[in-house]
Chains A and B, each alone.
Chain A
Amino acid sequence: MSFLGGGIFSGMAVTLRNFVGSYFDPDRLTTNDYSWRPEGQLPQSAGEYPREEGEQLSDTTTVTNYSRNFPMLLHDGGDNPMDAIRCVACQICERECPPQCIYIEKDYDENGKFIKRPAVFDIDISVCMGCQICVEVCPFDSIVMNSQFELSTPNRFDGLLLHRGDLLKSNDYYHRIHPEEAKARDQRMAVEKAAKEAKKKAAAEAAKKKAEEKARAEAEAKAQEETGDKEEEAQ
């Protein structure tokens, strides 16, 4: 525009267009209106799950299917979650965690033998960065990322240290908050399990075949001896 103030004028026209247009076109809203997200999802509530013992967290509200916040331990369902917990306390995640926020103690039975589960599994969420490296290095698919963000607590010291009971969630809950990732993980675990079974079966078959061959060879040798004896007797 050529007159003085023309640039400002055309700028104001843009603002006016945005202002009036925001009543009609959701794209012009500057506040986050969720209509941009896939299927217009609002933050969904993924609560209503059996509360674990000693849990101090409130019902979850998750944001999207992909967001991550702090880790959680998985168990495969059942009445007693500790029976089906996947973690075997190998302590790999404790070593690899960059800010060193995981604290694990192994569980031993009465004889002092190591049972494959953690007695203590603490994550200090005032330190945890949510970087997801513990999930990557776990060989047993037992720690994954939760997306729960309502973790505020009035106690600054103990409230921010999550214990095993708070972290233990079921695989169904994992499917509810991260459906694609959980499905991919389950598929991969099934494929690996099938491969392991096939390998075990092949090894068992090979061993069986070897045993059969050995038995046959022994029987042949014994039969040869007998014919040799018979020949000697005939002579």
Chain B
Amino acid sequence: MVAPNYELIAQDGLETSLLEVSMGPHHPSTHGVFRMDVKLDGETVVDLKPVFGYLHRNHEKLAENMSYLANMPFTDRLDYFNSMTNNWAYALAAEGLVEIEVPERAEYLRVIMAELTRLVNHVSLVGFFVNDLGALGTPLMYAFREREKILDLFEEASGARMMCNYFRFGGLRCDVPAGWLDRAREVVDQFPEFLDEYEKLLCENEIILSRTQGIGTLSRELAINAGITGPMLRASGVAYDLRKVDAYGIYDRFQFRVPYGEVGDCYDRFMVRMLEMRESVQILRQALDGIPEGEIMGKAPRVFKPKPAEVYGRVEGPKGELGFYLIADGTPKPYRYRVRPPSLINLTVLRDMCLGQKIADAVVILGSIDIVLGEVDR
């Protein structure tokens, strides 16, 4: 989309000036403390500058003063919707520094927790996206009804609904209680009905179709070059999913498809997430069928003091590629601890997608990128 031609405005004889609006940090639709300075010509966006850093807690420097295990609860708070996935990414990176074997049952449970987290995230995103479009709360509440069931499962397994702190180096903190697997199966079995109902509610809705199709198109080449990952990349037509490419954990044992879109607009991003939820249900069914009995923790050293090494461990988080870059130097604390935040890098193309669109579309585009400020700012 091209910015409008200023000469045309002058030729009309009307003297107009650009309106600069700060869609400020306190805004119900910006998904956190996020600011966009937009320059408007009428209603068309001429320039857009994202400003963040309002939630910067310097997590990376704090982590250099704490032992490896003590960093685990802080990783929960990075992307606060998906605490289990953050835990897994960090555990994967740290296990790459030391040779620990994770037992079978722990691997299966890790996959189950990660896919439940993916369901939680996509369901919240879809609800908030439609909320931003103006469906004031009803689809959001239907989505949150399902999310509550999954959060109850997390509470039974780990003790807390959101800040789970459940993964450890070499396995999990504790086993799930008796009957948890049956309750999880009940939740998973009734999820597709909810998805069917949700699709009937939303996916043929003319308002949603006209407001999201053709808006915020991201081309394939720009998406790859700008380092976009996750559902946003797949909506632009690149079938790159770390669960298939890296096959970390035991993902190579499960059969699932990777949905990808064609056009790369907001509607594609929305539909890719709906389809990914169905695939997650498939993975969950297979995992719940195949989970063996056994140990939960592998043989981990008592004091985690890895030899000097570097590792970059990454997982397919619900928002994109979440990576941890750890440099160990032989002490119990990491020398350098770096989080590769998918939400921050997905924001690289916000300006490109919004130029030339209307201001109301800027909110829709931001909602479809799926950011959470805890991760953008760390």
* Direct A/B contact, Cβ within 8 angstroms: yes
Q: Residues of B contacting A15 with CB < 8 Å?
A: 138, 201
Nearest-neighbour CB distance to chain B for A91, whole angstroms, equals: 15
**Chain A: interface secondary structure?**
loop
State whether B145 touches A30 (Cβ < 8 A). Answer: yes
Q: Residues of B contacting A131 with CB < 8 Å?
A: 72-73, 163, 165
State whether A98 touches B156 (Cβ < 8 A). Answer: no
Q: In whole angstroms, how far apart are the Cα atoms of A125 and B74 in the complex?
A: 17
Q: In whole angstroms, how far apart are the Cα atoms of A136 and B141 in the complex?
A: 37
State whether A30 touches B159 (Cβ < 8 A). Answer: no
* Chain A interface (Cβ < 8 Å from any Cβ of B): 1, 4-8, 10-11, 14-15, 18, 27, 29-30, 32, 36-38, 64, 66-68, 96-98, 129-133, 136, 145, 180
B207 within 8 A of A: yes
Nearest-neighbour CB distance to chain A for B177, whole angstroms, equals: 6
Nearest-neighbour CB distance to chain A for B222, whole angstroms, equals: 31
Take A30-B144, A32-B148 as given contacts and tell me if A130 and B160 are in contact as well, using a CB distance cutoff of 8 Å: yes
Nearest-neighbour CB distance to chain B for A211, whole angstroms, equals: 36
State whether A6 touches B204 (Cβ < 8 A). Answer: yes
State whether A66 touches B141 (Cβ < 8 A). Answer: no
Take A5-B206, A14-B197, A30-B144 as given contacts and tell me if A68 and B160 are in contact as well, using a CB distance cutoff of 8 Å: yes
Q: In whole angstroms, how far apart are the Cα atoms of A15 and B159 in the complex?
A: 34
State whether A10 touches B200 (Cβ < 8 A). Answer: yes
Q: In whole angstroms, how far apart are the Cα atoms of A4 and B163 in the complex?
A: 45
State whether A36 touches B205 (Cβ < 8 A). Answer: no
- Shortest Cβ distance from B69 into A: residue: A133
State whether A145 touches B159 (Cβ < 8 A). Answer: yes
* Chain B interface (Cβ < 8 Å from any Cβ of A): 66-67, 69-74, 138, 141-142, 144-145, 148-149, 152, 155-157, 159-161, 163, 165, 173, 177-179, 183, 190, 197, 200-209
State whether A64 touches B148 (Cβ < 8 A). Answer: no
Q: In whole angstroms, how far apart are the Cα atoms of A133 and B167 in the complex?
A: 12
Q: Residues of A contacting B178 with CB < 8 Å?
A: 180
Take A5-B206, A10-B204 as given contacts and tell me if A96 and B70 are in contact as well, using a CB distance cutoff of 8 Å: yes
**Chain B: interface secondary structure?**
helix
Most buried by A among B141, B144, B155, B202: B155
State whether B69 touches A8 (Cβ < 8 A). Answer: no
State whether A66 touches B200 (Cβ < 8 A). Answer: no
Nearest-neighbour CB distance to chain B for A27, whole angstroms, equals: 8
Take A11-B200, A32-B148 as given contacts and tell me if A132 and B159 are in contact as well, using a CB distance cutoff of 8 Å: yes
Q: Residues of B contacting A96 with CB < 8 Å?
A: 67, 69-70
Q: In whole angstroms, how far apart are the Cα atoms of A29 and B149 in the complex?
A: 12
- Of the candidates A7, A18, A67, the one whose C-beta lies within 8 Å of that of B206 is A7
Q: In whole angstroms, how far apart are the Cα atoms of A1 and B200 in the complex?
A: 11
- Shortest Cβ distance from B183 into A: residue: A38
State whether B204 touches A7 (Cβ < 8 A). Answer: yes
- Shortest Cβ distance from A27 into B: residue: B190
Take A66-B156, A67-B160, A136-B173 as given contacts and tell me if A98 and B66 are in contact as well, using a CB distance cutoff of 8 Å: yes
Q: Residues of A contacting B73 with CB < 8 Å?
A: 98, 129, 131, 133
Nearest-neighbour CB distance to chain A for B69, whole angstroms, equals: 7
State whether A133 touches B209 (Cβ < 8 A). Answer: no
Q: In whole angstroms, how far apart are the Cα atoms of A145 and B163 in the complex?
A: 15
State whether B70 touches A64 (Cβ < 8 A). Answer: no
Known: A7-B208, A38-B179, A64-B152. 11 other contacts (CB 8 A): A6-B206, A10-B204, A27-B190, A30-B144, A36-B152, A38-B183, A129-B73, A130-B160, A132-B159, A133-B165, A145-B159
- Of the candidates A97, A130, A180, the one whose C-beta lies within 8 Å of that of B163 is A130
- Shortest Cβ distance from B66 into A: residue: A98
State the 6 A-B residue pairs at the shortest beta-carbon distance, nearest first. A7-B204, A131-B73, A68-B159, A98-B70, A7-B205, A30-B141
